[in-house]
Structure 1
């Protein structure tokens, strides 16, 4: 049976009810993973740290996640994440609504400087659009330009055309929808009433109606039974009467012996806000949960684990460093928790001792309240009497800082320490309660100490396995040396090891020619200025387009760390690739042209000193002497993913990049905005690699965009 990877409209209706409990939570930070997963880190008054995620890729979901399950923050936040942080940091979560009965959620956040709405589309290609209070789009993960609707930055967000909402439809309107159908009952509920296949079948089962019954054979009694089943479902959703289930498919191993629990294989299949008779009839096993949000978190966590293939230990070295770092992080967190428990227990004991130290004062306060309550005086009047006592300078009254009559709690300030007292109890009972609470916290500390010992054992075990692996690996060095020249199939590897490197030229435009010479180019006038002043050396070639508006392009004869030399003869192939680089990242591409003229000069022909009476703009330079022209140089850019010696995105002329990357995508001038084209390329790369998480880590759309020409582009083979 297929596993659920997208939430249904019924799921979202239930989700909205439960998420309402988080209203008032404050947003701390926003993150974007790849091009389809948004995470909002929030603080809820009752629940503490709260993580909210939206995913709109192959998996489409929105729910809270246990903090220990959130992925590590990406190293470099893309522009979309930075925009979210600027708009949402410190904002209050004001609520969430489902648009009609569609798979669209609208999250509203309030801050003193305005309203931000995040609209999450969990249908079709999926999208996340960020708008202001008037629905003007600030930014979106995907731009939408259709005849029926448009979603682009700067425009007003347009919802899809409304459809029938079966949870609010009147009986007469329901009858009309059914009468207008020309198919069977279940298909009518699934399509015209928008329930989808699963819930259409479930409603038929609950109503006792044959699913395949032709609509022409359905009479008023059939309509009534189905409508009443819909009403009961709608009432349960509105009242929050959920009984969530996570459904599993269980199978025995091939040996046919199901007696051993270890022989039973489980697959998560579905997660629903209610038990479904359809799933039970199919033999699925349902696990009950206290909340739908918790069930969703568990379901998608387990689905992700099942999707991950276990790497073959004979093919790949386990990531011991990550495992060790994880255990060390856990130990650090556990130590922090232990310190917190110690401080909390100490504070509770100090409060109890303060009650005894100021016994007379505390007893006076509690006795006054008990006497007043015995005389049936209301709490408001008791609070007023204490306020009057403060004005007269009565010490006991001045110590009272708050009274909560609904809970029978009085808050006092004793020597700068605030303590909540139960008014029905005396001094001794309140002190004993604080001592008991301190003891309970101490027990939590003991549990944390036991847990930290277990984690330390896991840490030592990981280190031991690493040493064992390295010892075995050392014995195979000779065999490895023989195999070193063999090609690796990086695309098929279940887990590609990441080897990062940030060279000095990474902030410029750059590539290595097919002859392994470095080419750098400026991204703006400041970088053009810097390249000429700081990195131009004897022996280098300088290239520039004849058209205005292009990068200063330098073909380096040597690395800055090496001794420069004017005796090096640069290959023609490298100069031609540098020329193509110069024209591709210039206004030629931006104007939609496919070729342009480029000239090349030696480094000693370039000067920042203008002729008498002339002026050089920032980033400009003057040329002395003859130029070598490369007329009608064709534009051409390929972006690829390199797997060795480093794992990174690279880009530049196709003839150079295709020999250095494991896989490439060639671009040409086109109609797609830079950000949109980058997202299309990112999805292509994810499809090519078995290890999709590798692509997400090193080749985000933001990083791909770093190597793309300015202006519109399209993938060449499209």
Structure 2
């Protein structure tokens, strides 16, 4: 399987990478010790360049797993190259070396990528003095790749052009007859094995062609000269025109299954000439058979290489993930096995203690006699050796008491007795057991001690069972989390385009307006300074520390009230009012009313602005938020969803609401005498009848009269302010009920910081 760039691959890649020239380096990441990601940006255009030392360099559209902590080499590149423009990207001769120049003048730096041998990545200054090197080493006595040494740019091998007939004659004359023609030219010419094989086949020299047998130096030299002229043309085209990409795939059938496994075997920037001189032409992502391979074509060489290596990397990560899954499951199994063994040991201890206690009770007289005999010997102040000798002497004389004593443990004041159950059946074949007894206790007390140990072991077993359940739950939880993390790690997905507004709080309103809000005071500052335009509206909650919300207006038409209300709800929800569960107001102003200029003697902190003029207040906003799923539509489905998020009139909204109520069964439509009424169903109808029968209390009548008076007064005030309550380019918001109404405008002369 091909896993690194050839010379021709690198030439094609460099030609395609010229699109990065002029872009700024935004950030540097490392995947492992030899693979790095360079993220470039130019306005809204973003590109990610992947460099693997010794193997490849290409742009990638996939999300690669990055190291949590950047390496020292990454930090060094960030320090010198971050936010610098890529001025040039070129090959140094034909040695598979790329020179990336960042910045100009005194701020000029170079990244030199070597894709031959073991590879290397070198960071240098404008004079090619090495600042950092990925793989320090020496190439002979004169060439040293170390910090503060000069990179040997002048040693790069330059392109020599097509060989002449004399050069080819001299080259072939030094070789032995029978050598393959391809193997002769590959180390001597700079074209690489792929191009040499291609042009030789095109000139009629197959792979098995041998010198002296299939090639005549005198007659075949002109054909060879033409073949290498073709190689020069291929290189010239690759240096100027971006190439397409091709993947050679092997299709294998699974055993005992109809499924096929397709494995990427090689990547190429061109389709090589086949032995039968047949060239296959394909459209994008079409497939064809090529020397036993299936071919997939891509629009660019970088896309083909990216697909090839992302699949190969996925296979590596899958193997690593499988091993991690096995380790996690094995660890869980070990925990279970350990707890089972502990429970079995406790249960076995209980059985042994019970059996020993019963044996002591069944042999109570003999046990007491043995304890008494040893006590007497100790009382006679005999040494332990003398006591043991007297016991053995008594055993030789078949003393019944001495015969059950098997071991003296006088250092712990114990003796070991061999006891058997006198009530056991001969068919049980139950053998005598060894029982330790304490010399300070009687036979009954020793039996009680064993029963106490059994009860203690039983309690310990119960506690172990309870702790086992908790431990197993914890271990299973950790294992599931590990498996989840492993599954997340194995996914190398194509990176979705991230829109500029996704770094903020954002949503699309019901009328298809983009609404954005700051996550912190720095983003509040950024939203107003960079993204607030003349036709936009600024929304803020009437509480300190709330998010600055901007409603983006792509046209000149006024923003509808429904969108403004939704933006106000967003401003309130992304404030301390959400945590405090306190309903507060929000307001909106035009973009030209927002200023960063503070009055004399005052100072505006980051994220704070001065509002000059009227603040248009919303009714009290609900603390309600939702979650939505966005689905990407196919092109054929876009037409069916056209105008779903458009500005609707009040009549259209009322009609749609009525349809929804009717469809959900809340009400039924009845036609008669040109009127439409909505009849309540179920409990609501009964509640209405009960309300009709209830008398209205006097206090309620008085309250209604007061409300009517207040409403008439407020109507009069609104009629006086009707001419200047709202600016002409913004439609009036629906009026609030009398008991919740707020002033929609402050004095135009008022200046309010927030």
The normalised TM-score by structure 2 is 0.42
Larger radius of gyration: 2
The normalised TM-score by structure 1 is 0.44
